[in-house]
Structure formats: structure tokens, C-alpha cells
Amino acid sequence: MILCDIGNTTFHFKTSKKNFKIKTNADISDLKDYKAPLYFVSVNEKATAKLLKKYPRAIDLRDIIKFKTSYIGLGIDRQIVCNYIEHGIVVDMGSAITVDAMKNKKHLGGFILPGIDAYKRIYPQISKKLSFKFKNDINLDKIPLNTSDAINYAILDSIVLPILKIYRNYNLPLYFTGGNCQLLLKYFENKKYEKDLVFKSMKKIIKKHIKKENRC
């Protein structure tokens, strides 16, 4: 099977042989015509339409997943990763950073921080004087003594502390996934890095669905 995770800015494909990303504003008409079924999840309607134009038989996991939560409007991407983790805090770092708490297969809730790239954009928008180069080798126990450190420290603390708070409050294992989550791993103890968690979860959901269909 072919898997595709459509985010705000990229198509992320996984075939049996390859794992590759394409910007959502790029031309995808030249992509290979796969024989295997293509399953996708998407938070981006425009890009979904583009994918369906290229692959009209692509199957939206939204129609398959049965994820229950009291949270109103939980993005399909968050449903997918939470569905797999079942018990833990899931931090998914993309253009936004979503943080969700799962306890014994129950979704407790979550919050949405800006992604690292969003933080990179916002400071120079406030003032040209706040242009900076992102660094993740900041000592968060030391109060900064220059503008670059003052911004990097603030970005890192404003991401790390809300995650630590929820981790301590719920005493659940901590899982990280998503594009640039490795930038932050050093600031947490007892964490697990789950590469391509979306794809792992998609596979699990699809297998369960196929099994059920065969039973009917």
C-alpha cells in the first residue's frame, strides 16, 4: 500500500521502497501511477483536492478511523497519532506543535503551540531588530545575556515548559514525532522518539479495517 500524510505545507509519501516529501504548492502530476491502493490523511483541503485529481481512487482515512473524544474539532492528524499511542503524551511537531494526552485509550484533551518555523517568522515581523538565527543549544538554566540567546531561550522555554507541565501533571510516558522534533529531544528526560508515527498508525488502522471487511 501507498501512504500519504498531507500537512499544511507538504505531501509526505511512504511506499514500500521510498519515503519522500513534496511541497503542497508543487506540481504532483508527474508522480508515478501506483497500482497498490493509496491511503491518505489530510489537514489541507486544497492539497487533498490536488491528490485526488492525481489519484482519484485514493482512500481518505477520515472515512475509516473511529476515534472517540470529547474534544470538539480534533484534527485528523492528531486522531491518527493518538489512536496509535493509546497511553501517553503525544507531541507532534510540524508547522504547529500539537500536544495530546491519552490515558488507557481515552483522549483527555490537548493544546496547540506554534511550530519552530512559525516562531522563526514572528520575531522579525515584530521588529527587524529581533531577526535571529534559531539555535537549540541554549542552556535553559542560565538567564540570557544577548538578544539572540534571549529569543532562542524564550522560544525553547515557551515550548518545553507547557509540555513538561502536562507531562508532570498526568504522569504519562512522553512521545515525540514530526519533522523537527529532534531539535527539542535534549530538553526532556524519559521521552521516546517515534519516527513516522503517522505512517505506523495509518498501517495499523488500515490492517484492522481490511481484516474487518474480510470478516463481513
* Residue 165 vs 204, nearer CB to a second copy: 165
User: How many of the chain's residues bind a second copy (CB under 8 A)?
Assistant: 47
Phi, psi at 195, each rounded to 5°: -70, 140
Of 114, 134, 185, 187, the one binding a second copy (CB under 8 A) is 114
68 binds a second copy (CB under 8 A): no
- 8 Å CB contact between 156 and 171: no
Neighbour tally for 60: CB within 10 Å: 16
User: By CB under 8 A, is residue 87 in contact with a second copy?
Assistant: no
* Cα distance between residue 57 and residue 156, in whole Å: 42
d(CA 52, CA 22): 15
Q: Which of residues 16 and 125 has its CB atom nearest to a second copy in the complex?
A: 125
For a second copy, the closer of residues 87 and 207 by Cβ is 87
Q: Identify the DSSP state of 115.
A: P
Among all chains, which residue has been given the C-alpha cell 481512487?
Answer: 57
Q: Does 16 bind a second copy (CB under 8 A)?
A: no
Q: Cβ of residue 87: shortest distance to a second copy, in angstroms?
A: 15
Candidate ranges 17-25, 60-68, 127-135, 186-194; the one touching a second copy (CB under 8 A): 127-135
Candidates 16, 29, 125, 171: give the one binding a second copy (CB under 8 A): 125
Q: Could you tell me the three cell numbers for 142?
A: 542560565
Q: Which of 27, 30, 60, 77 is catalytic?
A: 77
Assess contact for 69 and 76: CB atoms under 8 A: no
> Are β-strands 191-193 and 2-6 bridged in parallel, bridged antiparallel, or unpaired?
unpaired
Contacting range for a second copy; rule: CB under 8 A; set: 25-33, 102-110, 181-189, 193-201: 102-110
Half-sphere exposure of 51 (CA within 13 A, CB side): 29
Binder among 27, 111, 193, 208 for a second copy (CB under 8 A): 111
Please, which residue, 36 or 126, has the CB nearer to a second copy?
126
162 scored as a contact of a second copy (CB under 8 A): yes
Strand pairing of 96-103 and 38-42? unpaired
Mark whether 60 is an active-site residue: no
Alpha carbons 52 and 64: distance in angstroms, whole number: 17
- For binding to a second copy (CB under 8 A), which residues are involved? 8, 43-44, 70-73, 75, 95-96, 99, 101, 108-115, 118-119, 121-123, 125-127, 129-130, 142-147, 150-151, 153-154, 157-159, 161-162, 165-166
